[in-house]
Amino acid sequence: KALKEWQIGEAVVKQQIAGTIPDTLFLQVKSLATANSIFTYLAKLFEQRSRIVSVEILRKMQALRCNEKGNVREHFDKLRTLREQLASMG
């Protein structure tokens, strides 16, 4: 009985995951056996993407320059926005 309940719970979780990810990702994970393996795969995938996005935001911050006659306040607003994006990623 416990095994049957676990199998039902496993199927429900897999279905919930499948319902919340794009079809392209579903095709990548549909062959994985357990909900845990699907979750682990997706977590690693998104952690890698998060690092890439973080590096890109840092690169934008480093490349951002205020023109000689540019508005310093607007420049700082852009920097603050990028910093907030970076901070929200953890």
In the chain, domain spans: 2-88
As a whole number of angstroms, the distance between CA 3 and CA 53 comes to 41
Residue 5 has a pLDDT of 93
DSSP 70: S
Query: How many Å separate Cα 90 from the centre of its chain?
Result: 11
For residue 88, what pLDDT is reported? 86
Q: What is the pLDDT of residue 13?
A: 94
* Res 90: pLDDT: 66
Mean pLDDT by 10 residues, the chain (90 residues): 91 92 91 93 89 91 92 94 87
Following DSSP, what letter does each residue of 15-80 receive, concatenated?
Answer: HHHHHHS-HHHHHHHTT-SSHHHHHHHHHHHHHHHHHHHHHHHHHHHHH----TTS-HHHHHHHHH
